Each structure stands twice: as structure tokens, then as C-alpha cells.
């Protein structure tokens, strides 16, 4: 792994100054910004969609992510693949279940933009690592995966307060 990235704060204006502002003049998603900042990165290993039917279980060919954290995200998944080279092991720990990255929306329960709106947050295996559920090493992501992301400077939602804990969530921005 490289040196951990020095990501910005998740709060404006720092996050917008670093990653660009996804909000257009009309207050909606800026298609110009999306075209300039959001890229499609092929998945490092086979992944499937882990959200609501009818798409659950469908292959995910690529991740849509902000270009400024894309290389770091790929390194994280390459390190996961190195740690779990056997597909059966990745499936056992649900490391192949994708919950998304870029999604222009407000924070859940709030009015501010979610960091997903900047393409700088990912959710892994949301049905197994449910929001507001305390970390359980017996049923959730291996701590090794958390360590991989944290070595790159990503923030894990599993370390947040009990009211906001989010074990599926990793973001390239600090609180």
C-alpha cells in the first residue's frame, strides 16, 4: 500500500474545493461536474449488486467513483484480492457484494449532501453490514478489510457513534 491519503473534511466547502461541486446552478446534480469528475473503474474482481430486487445478484461491471480517489479505491480492492485470492473466501465474507458509490442524494435523515454525491464513498455488502448495527466480526466484514481501507486513509463508518454507525460504509473524507 502507498502512504495514506490526506483526504479533505466531508463538510463544505473543503470537500467541494477538493472534489469539485456536484451541485449545478439549479440546485440539482450538475451533469457537467459528473462528466468531469465521475469515472467508471472496472471491478478488480467479480462483484454483484446487493440492493433491492430485481437487481440483487446482478453482476457489477464497474464502479462509478470520483477520479481523485479512484486509484486509492482500486488499490484497496487489489489488496482485498491479494488477501482473499480464492473467490469462495470473498463470497464467504460477502466481499463481492456491492452497495454502490456515486449516488447524488442527501445524507440519510438530513438535508446536506451525502458524500456518495461526490463519488467518494462506497458501501460493501449492505445486507450483511446493515446501517445502525454494531460491528460483529462473526457476521460482518473481516477487520482485515477495514484495515486495508484505513491504510489508504479511508474512514470506516463502523467506528462512528452508536447513533450513526454504518459498517458497510467507507469514505475518502474525514469527519
Enclosing H/E stretch for 99? strand 97-100
CA 44 to centroid of chain Cα atoms: 14
Q: What is the mean pLDDT of the chain?
A: 95
* pLDDT tens-digit map of 116-134: 999 999 999 999 999 999 9
pLDDT at 53 over 90: no
Length of the chain: 175
Domain with residues 14-171, CATH architecture: 2-Layer Sandwich (3.30)
Q: How confident is the model at residue 57 (pLDDT cuts 50, 70, 90)?
A: very high
The domain ranges of the chain are 14-171
pTM: 0.95
Amino acid at each position: 500500500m502507498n502512504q495514506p491519503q490526506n483526504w479533505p473534511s466531508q463538510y463544505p466547502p473543503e470537500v467541494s474545493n477538493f472534489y469539485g461541486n456536484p451541485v449545478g446552478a439549479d440546485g440539482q446534480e450538475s451533469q457537467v461536474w459528473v462528466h468531469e469528475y465521475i469515472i467508471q473503474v472496472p471491478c478488480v474482481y467479480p462483484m454483484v449488486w446487493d440492493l433491492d430486487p430485481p437487481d440483487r445478484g446482478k453482476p457489477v461491471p464497474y464502479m462509478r467513483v470520483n477520479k481523485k480517489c479512484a486509484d486509492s479505491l482500486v488499490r484497496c480492492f487489489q489488496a482485498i484480492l491479494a488477501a482473499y485470492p480464492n473467490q469462495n473466501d470473498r463470497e464467504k465474507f460477502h466481499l463481492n457484494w456491492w452497495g454502490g458509490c456515486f449516488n447524488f442524494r442527501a445524507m440519510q435523515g438530513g438535508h446536506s449532501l451525502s458524500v456518495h454525491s461526490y463519488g467518494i464513498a462506497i458501501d460493501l455488502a449492505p445486507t450483511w453490514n446493515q446501517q445502525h448495527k454494531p460491528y460483529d466480526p462473526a457476521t460482518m466484514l473481516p477487520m482485515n478489510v477495514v484495515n486495508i481501507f484505513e491504510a489508504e486513509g479511508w474512514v470506516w463508518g463502523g467506528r462512528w457513534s452508536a447513533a450513526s454507525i454504518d459498517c458497510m460504509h467507507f469514505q475518502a473524507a474525514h469527519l
